Amino acid sequence: MLVRDLILTEPVVCLIDDYLQNAARMFSENDMVCLPVVESFAHRNVIGVITEKDICRQAIAAGLDPKKTSVGRIMSNRFFTVKVETTVD
């Protein structure tokens, strides 16, 4: 099986300026635990990722307000990508 067999043609992403509450809502609505972060919907270049765990550990546990804290403040910019021809194995 190849990566192309698993990817979505219209992936769910969040903006770097979105608030954590919006990201949490997106996790819930799409049954996801990780979201790619983009600067704009026009270009959709991935600049980071955010996970449910990030929100819990880096925001909620630190007392940050999810209604006022941006995704960009806690996202990880360390991630890797693979080509669609890569095997899942």
Tell me the pTM.
0.85
**Placement of tokens 């067999």 in the chain:** 5
Q: pLDDT digit string (tens) for 49-77?
A: 999 999 999 999 999 999 999 999 999 99
Is the pLDDT score of 11 beyond 90? Answer: no
Q: Positive or negative, the Cα torsion across 6, 11, 16, 18?
A: negative
**Placement of tokens 């990508």 in the chain:** 81
Specify whether the CB–CB gap between 37 and 49 falls below 8 A.
yes
Q: Is residue 40 very low, low, confident or very high in pLDDT (cuts 50, 70, 90)?
A: very high
Q: Alpha-carbon distance 61 to 24, whole Å?
A: 15
Bigger pLDDT: 15 vs 6: 15
